[in-house]
A and B are shown apart, each in its own frame.
Chain A
Amino acid sequence: MNISSFKDTFKRMYRNSKYRIWLWVLGLPTMLITFFVYKGKKGKDGYAEIRNQVRREMEGTSLLSELTRTALEQIKRKNEYFQKSASERDMKKQAEQIAKKNFDWILEDKVKQIAQSKSIEEVTMASVYSSLISNGALLALSIITSFPMYIIMILFTNPISKYVVDRLVMMVFVLFGVTFLVFTILYISPMDPALNILGVTATPEQVERFNKMHGLDQPYLVQLFSKFQNLLTFNLGKSFQGNENIAVALANKFPITLQVTFWSMLVSLVIAIPSGIISAIKPYTSFDYIAMFIALLGLSIPNFWLGLMMILEFSIKNKWLPATFQVGNPVTLIMPAIVLGTGMSASVARMTRSSMMEVKNSDYILTARAKGLPERKVVLKHILGNAMIPIITTIGMQFGGMLGGSSVTEKVFNINGIGLYIVEKQFVPDIPAVLAGVIYVSFVVSIVNLIVDIMYAVIDPRIKSKMKNY
C-alpha cells in the first residue's frame, strides 16, 4: 500500500457523488482540513488566472450576442414547426439562457486547452489532498484522526473488495427496508396477539399488561424505531409465546436447515448437471426428450405430495426408511434430501441445457474443435465453462431459498427447521418471531446472492473488468 494508490483512490472516490458522502462521513477531520486549504487556494492559482484572461478576451468579441441570435432563431423555428405560440420576451429569455450555457462551455474548453499546453493543473479537492499527504507528518496525522476513511480506501483499491463493500452497504439498507415492510404489515394486522396468546377469557387488565410488557401500546413510529435499533444491535428480541430468546431459537434450528440444504443440493447437482450436459450435447434425442420431460415433471410436482408418496412407498408399505426426521440419524435425511433435491434439479437441468445450447454454436467452440481439442475438454471446459453464469445463478437462488427453510417439506417430514418455525409462529401471530425469521432469511438470501455475484467475477474476466470502472 503506497501513497500514490491513496491519491488515486481518493480522486476516483471523490468524483462519485455517493462515495463523496462516504469520504466526508468517515474522514471528517482530514476532509475539513483539505477543504479549508482548497478554499484558500481556489481562485488564486494559475488555472484561475488563465480563466480570467480568456473570459476577458471572449467578452471582448461578439460571441455572446452571436450565440443568443442563433439560439433565438432555433427556438422560433421549433415553435413554428409545432405550431406553438410564445411571447417574444419568453423566447428571448430562453435564448439568453441557452447562449450563456454555450458560452461557458466554450470558455471551459478553451481554458482546459491552454492549461494543458502550459501543464498547469486545476486546484481540486483531490489535488489538494494529494499534495497534503505527500508530507509524511500530515499523512500520519490524517491516518490517526480519520482511520475509517483509510480502511474504506484500502478496500476500494481492489475492485472485488470494493464490490463487496458496496453490496454490503446496500444489504444493510435492504434489511432496513425488509424490517419496515414486514413490521408494517404485521402492525396494521387486525389480529390481536394478546387475545390469541392469553385466550379469549383474558381480562382487559391482563391484555393491557401484556401489551405494556411487549411495548405494543406505544405508537407506530416508536415501535418501528425500536425494531431498527434491535436490527443494529443484532438483538432479535424475545417471542411473545414462551418469552424465549429468538436468536437462540433460530441458532438451534439453523444447523438442521443447513444440513438438509447441503444434502439436497448434492442430490440435485448430481442429477441435474450430468443430465443437462448430455441433453445439450445430444439434443432432440430420446435421452434429451425423456430427461427434459422428467425435469418439467419435477417442476410440476408439489414437494409435499412427492414427500407423502415416498413416505407411503418406503415407510408405510415397505418399511425401508423412517418417515420422520431425527437429528443425528443420517438415514432419516435420505427422503427429504431426495424430495428437495429432485425439485431443485429440475430447474438446474433445464438451465444447464438451455445455456449450453446457446454457447454451443459460438465461434470459439468451433475454434476449440478446429484446433483438435478432445471432445471431452471442449464440452467440459469451453462449453460448460462459458455457460456457467446462468447455471450458478439458478443454483444460488435455490440454495438461498432453501437455507430460508422449505416449510412445506419440513412439515411433511417433521423437520424442526427454520421454515416450520416461522409457519408455527405465524399462527399466533408472534410478531417478533415472524419478523426475526423473515429478516434472518432475507439476510441469508442476500449473502448467498452476494457470494454468487462474486463468483461471477471469479469465473468471467469480462465481469471483473466491468467492476473496476466506477
Chain B
Amino acid sequence: MATKQMTKNEAAYIKKVNSKKLSGSFEFMTSRLGWQVSGVFALYLAVTAFMAESVSTAKLIIAAVFAVQFLLQFFITSKITKELIGPAGAISDGTRKLGFLLVPFILCGNFLLFIAGMMLVKKEKNIEYQLSVYSLLISLYIILISALNLFKPKQASTFVLGMALYGLYSIFNLVVIFAVGKYAMGKKPDKKFMPFAVICLLGLALGNVFSFLLGLIAIGKYRHKNDEISVEWIDVIRRLFKNYTAVIGMIVVIFLLSVSIGSNLTFDYRIATSNNFSQMLAQPSLAYPFGCDDYGRCVFTRIIFGARISLIIGVISTAVPIIVGGLLGALAGYYGGRTENIIMRILDVLSAVPSILLAIAIIAAFGASTITLIMALSVGGIPGYARTVRAQVLGLSNQEFVEAAKACGAKDGTIIFRHIIPNSLAPVIVRATMGIGSAVLSTSSLSYLGIGVEAHIPEWGNILKAGSTYLESNPYIAIFPGLAIIIIVLAFNFFGDGLRDALDPKLK
C-alpha cells in the first residue's frame, strides 16, 4: 500500500517535472499550438464541406492540406516531446532539420507552422533572431494577401511597385536572419551588424514594428557600455516575447498595422468604395474572396481598408483620454486636498453616464462623423485613466525618491513629469492596449447603429450593418467583418495580457 502511494506520488512528480521541462521549451510550445490549430481548422473545414447540401471539393482540398500539416506537425511535436523528456534532454540535430519541412507552409497562410519551423531549425535563439523571423513573416504575409489581387480583373496602378518593394524587403529580412546568426548572437552585436540595424529601423515606415524593434535593440545593445548590467527595456521586451500568446497577439496587431500601410500600394481603394452593379451581391470567388456587398463593392478589400480606420480611431481615442485623464489623475493624486476633491467630483459626473451613452449624446449634438466619434469615445475614457493614474500617484508620492526630489528643491512640475508619471506608466500602458480593442468594438457598435463612421467609408461596423440586411441570402457579408473585429480585439487583449505579465515588477 505504502509503496503504491509512493509510486503514485513519484509519478505525479515526474509528470510535473516533465511538463515544466516542456513548457520551458519554446520549440515545444510553438509546435503544439501548430498541430492543435491546424487540426481544429482541418476538422472544421471537413465538417462544413460535408454538411453543405453539395459537397464542395475546394473546401475538401483545403481541409486535406491542413490535415497534412496537422499530421506533420503532430509527428514532429511528439518527436520533440520524446527527446526533451528522454535522457538527452535536448532536441537532436536530426529533428531540428525537420523544421525546414514546416517553413514552406506559410504559402497556405499557416503562420503557426512557419514560426514552429523557424524556431526549431535554430538551436540558439535570442530576441534578435525571434524578431527577425516575425519581421519576415509579416512581409511574406503582406505579399500573400496582396497576391490575391492577381485574380481580380484589374489591379491598382501601384500594384507592381508595391509587390516589388515588399519582395525586396522580404529578401532583406531573410538576409537579416542570417546576419543575426552570424553577427548578433553574443552579448553585444558586431559592428558589421549596424548597417542592417539602421535599415531595420526604416521598417517602421512600412508598419513593420518587429523590424524596427530589432534595429532598436541591436543599436541599444551596441551603445550600451556595461556588459554586466542588462538594459531594462530590453528585458521587458524579452519577457514579453517569451509569452507565445502575446507574440501571436502582436503578430496580428502589427500585421494589421502593416496592411493598413501596405494596402495603399497594393490594393485599389476604388474597388472598396465605388459601385459596381455587375457584381452586386456576388458570391465569394477567387477574385472576390469574401464576395461583394449590395453596391457590388469587394468585401475583402473593404475589410482590408477597414483595418486602417479602426486602428486610427482606436489609437487616437485611447491616446486622448490617456493624456487628459492621466494629467487630471496625476494632479489629483499629487496635490490632494481641494484640487483632488474638485477633479474627482467632475470625474464622478463623467463616469455616472455609461460611456456608450455619453458617446451617443455627444454624437446627437454634433452629428455623426469620424471626428465626433473620436471625441465621443475619448471623453468616456477619461475617468478610467484618471482613476488608474491617481491610484498610482497616491502610492508613489509617499516614496523616498519623491521626497528626495522635493528635498533637493525640485519644482512640482519636474517631480510630476520626471519622477511620478514615468513610474506610474505600467498599468496605464496595459489598460491602453486593451482600451484600443474596446474602442474598436465601440466604434463598430456605433457604426452598426448608424451613428459612427460615415456610411460610405469602409469600416467594419458599416460593412456589418450592410450585411445584416442580407443575412438570409448573403450571410458572408456579415460574417467576415465580424471575424475581423474579433481577431483584432482578441489580439489586443492577448497583447495586453502579455504586457501586464512582462511589466509586472514582481516577476523581475
Among A48-56, A58-66, A295-303, which stretch is in contact with chain B?
A295-303
Given A174-B348, A300-B486, residue A191 in contact with residue B449 (CB < 8 A) = no
Residue in chain A with minimal CB distance to B494: A296
A407 in contact with B449 (CB, 8 Å)? yes
4 nearest A-B pairs in the assembled complex, by CB-CB distance: A177-B349, A189-B365, A426-B364, A305-B482
Contact of A445 among B352, B441, B472 (CB under 8 A): B352
Contact of B349 among A178, A191, A302 (CB under 8 A): A178
Complex CA distance for A438 and B359, rounded to whole angstroms: 11
Contacts of B352 in A (CB 8 A): 174-175, 177-178, 442, 445-446
Interface size on B, as a range, is: 35 or more
B485 in contact with A188 (CB, 8 Å)? no
Q: Nearest Cβ distance between residue A53 and chain B, in whole angstroms?
A: 38
A302 in contact with B445 (CB, 8 Å)? yes
B364 in contact with A299 (CB, 8 Å)? no
- Seed contacts A175-B352, A190-B367, A445-B354; 15 additional CB < 8 Å A-B pairs: A177-B345, A177-B348, A178-B352, A304-B445, A304-B464, A304-B468, A305-B486, A312-B478, A401-B354, A423-B451, A425-B364, A427-B364, A437-B357, A442-B354, A446-B352
A82 in contact with B349 (CB, 8 Å)? no
Q: Nearest Cβ distance between residue B15 and chain A, in whole angstroms?
A: 12
Contacts of B502 in A (CB 8 A): none
Given A304-B448, A446-B352, residue A426 in contact with residue B479 (CB < 8 A) = no
Q: Can you spell out 22 A-B residue pairs with CB atoms less than 8 angstroms apart?
A: A173-B345, A296-B497, A299-B489, A300-B441, A301-B482, A302-B441, A302-B485, A303-B445, A304-B445, A305-B482, A308-B482, A404-B357, A407-B356, A411-B448, A422-B360, A423-B360, A426-B360, A427-B364, A427-B451, A434-B364, A438-B353, A446-B352
Contacts of A438 in B (CB 8 A): 353, 357-358, 361
Given A178-B353, A426-B361, residue A191 in contact with residue B367 (CB < 8 A) = yes
A250 contacts the other chain (CB 8 A): no
Given A300-B437, A426-B451, residue A181 in contact with residue B350 (CB < 8 A) = yes
Complex interface bits, B4-41 against A, C-beta within 8 A gives 1, otherwise 0: 00000000000000000000000000000000000000
Complex CA distance for A191 and B356, rounded to whole angstroms: 21
Q: Nearest Cβ distance between residue A43 and chain B, in whole angstroms?
A: 33
Contacts of A181 in B (CB 8 A): 349-350, 353
Complex interface bits, A416-460 against B, C-beta within 8 A gives 1, otherwise 0: 000000110111010000100110011001100000000000000
Contacts of B151 in A (CB 8 A): none
Contacts of B186 in A (CB 8 A): none
Contact of B366 among A190, A301, A305, A445 (CB under 8 A): A190
A186 in contact with B365 (CB, 8 Å)? yes
A331 contacts the other chain (CB 8 A): no
Instruction: Give residues of chain B (52-80) contacting chain A, Cβ–Cβ below 8 Å.
Output: none
Complex CA distance for A446 and B493, rounded to whole angstroms: 29
B211 contacts the other chain (CB 8 A): no
Complex CA distance for A175 and B345, rounded to whole angstroms: 12
A182 in contact with B361 (CB, 8 Å)? yes
Contact of A407 among B360, B366, B468, B475 (CB under 8 A): B360
A202 contacts the other chain (CB 8 A): no
Interface size on A, as a range, is: 35 or more
Contacts of B348 in A (CB 8 A): 170, 174, 177
Contact of A441 among B357, B362, B464, B482 (CB under 8 A): B357
A408 contacts the other chain (CB 8 A): yes
B363 contacts the other chain (CB 8 A): yes
Complex CA distance for A28 and B240, rounded to whole angstroms: 64
A316 contacts the other chain (CB 8 A): yes
Given A186-B365, A189-B365, A189-B366, residue A311 in contact with residue B485 (CB < 8 A) = no
B462 contacts the other chain (CB 8 A): no
Complex CA distance for A446 and B354, rounded to whole angstroms: 11
Complex interface bits, A206-241 against B, C-beta within 8 A gives 1, otherwise 0: 000000000000000000000000000000000000
Q: Nearest Cβ distance between residue A72 and chain B, in whole angstroms?
A: 21
Q: Nearest Cβ distance between residue A412 and chain B, in whole angstroms?
A: 8
B361 in contact with A311 (CB, 8 Å)? no
B482 in contact with A300 (CB, 8 Å)? no
Given A296-B494, A300-B493, A411-B449, residue A429 in contact with residue B486 (CB < 8 A) = no
Residue in chain A with minimal CB distance to B487: A300
Contacts of B258 in A (CB 8 A): none
Given A301-B486, A441-B354, residue A408 in contact with residue B445 (CB < 8 A) = yes
B489 in contact with A300 (CB, 8 Å)? yes
Given A181-B350, A305-B464, residue A423 in contact with residue B449 (CB < 8 A) = yes
B505 contacts the other chain (CB 8 A): no
Complex CA distance for A186 and B362, rounded to whole angstroms: 7
B365 in contact with A429 (CB, 8 Å)? yes
Instruction: Give residues of chain A (305-335) contacting chain B, Cβ–Cβ below 8 Å.
Output: 305, 308-309, 311-312, 316
Contacts of B445 in A (CB 8 A): 302-304, 408
Complex CA distance for A297 and B483, rounded to whole angstroms: 11
Contacts of A200 in B (CB 8 A): none
Q: Nearest Cβ distance between residue B55 and chain A, in whole angstroms?
A: 18
Q: Nearest Cβ distance between residue A285 and chain B, in whole angstroms?
A: 10
B139 contacts the other chain (CB 8 A): no
Complex interface bits, B329-356 against A, C-beta within 8 A gives 1, otherwise 0: 0000000000000000110111011101
Given A305-B478, A305-B482, A407-B449, residue A185 in contact with residue B490 (CB < 8 A) = no
B173 contacts the other chain (CB 8 A): no
Max count, chain A CB within 10 A of own CB: residue among B348, B449, B497 = B449
Complex CA distance for A407 and B361, rounded to whole angstroms: 13
Residue in chain B with minimal CB distance to A311: B471
Given A300-B437, A308-B482, residue A426 in contact with residue B349 (CB < 8 A) = no
Q: Nearest Cβ distance between residue A110 and chain B, in whole angstroms?
A: 31
Complex CA distance for A302 and B442, rounded to whole angstroms: 9
Q: Nearest Cβ distance between residue A202 and chain B, in whole angstroms?
A: 19
Residue in chain A with minimal CB distance to B360: A426
B409 contacts the other chain (CB 8 A): yes
Contact of B353 among A82, A182, A186, A190 (CB under 8 A): A182
A297 in contact with B364 (CB, 8 Å)? no
Q: Nearest Cβ distance between residue B25 and chain A, in whole angstroms?
A: 16
Contacts of A316 in B (CB 8 A): 471-472
Contacts of B260 in A (CB 8 A): none
Instruction: Give residues of chain B (452-508) contacting chain A, Cβ–Cβ below 8 Å.
Output: 464, 467-468, 471-472, 475, 478-479, 482, 485-486, 489-490, 493-494, 497
Complex interface bits, B371-392 against A, C-beta within 8 A gives 1, otherwise 0: 0000000000000000000000
Residue in chain A with minimal CB distance to B365: A189
Q: Nearest Cβ distance between residue B479 and chain A, in whole angstroms?
A: 7
Contact of A302 among B356, B451, B479, B486 (CB under 8 A): B486
B444 contacts the other chain (CB 8 A): yes
Q: Nearest Cβ distance between residue A132 and chain B, in whole angstroms?
A: 34
Q: Nearest Cβ distance between residue A215 and chain B, in whole angstroms?
A: 18
Contacts of B354 in A (CB 8 A): 400-401, 404, 441-442, 445
Instruction: Give residues of chain A (159-213) contacting chain B, Cβ–Cβ below 8 Å.
Output: 170, 173-175, 177-178, 180-182, 185-186, 188-191
Complex CA distance for A228 and B395, rounded to whole angstroms: 39
Given A411-B449, A445-B352, residue A302 in contact with residue B482 (CB < 8 A) = yes
Complex CA distance for A16 and B100, rounded to whole angstroms: 76
A308 in contact with B478 (CB, 8 Å)? yes
Complex CA distance for A308 and B365, rounded to whole angstroms: 29
Complex CA distance for A185 and B468, rounded to whole angstroms: 32
Complex CA distance for A309 and B479, rounded to whole angstroms: 8
Contacts of B482 in A (CB 8 A): 301-302, 305, 308-309
Q: Nearest Cβ distance between residue B127 and chain A, in whole angstroms?
A: 25
Complex CA distance for A121 and B452, rounded to whole angstroms: 68
Contacts of A404 in B (CB 8 A): 354, 357
Given A300-B437, A426-B451, residue A174 in contact with residue B486 (CB < 8 A) = no
Contact of A308 among B353, B358, B468, B489 (CB under 8 A): B468
Contacts of A175 in B (CB 8 A): 352
B365 in contact with A297 (CB, 8 Å)? no
Instruction: Give residues of chain B (155-194) contacting chain A, Cβ–Cβ below 8 Å.
Output: none
Contact of A297 among B475, B478, B490, B497 (CB under 8 A): B490
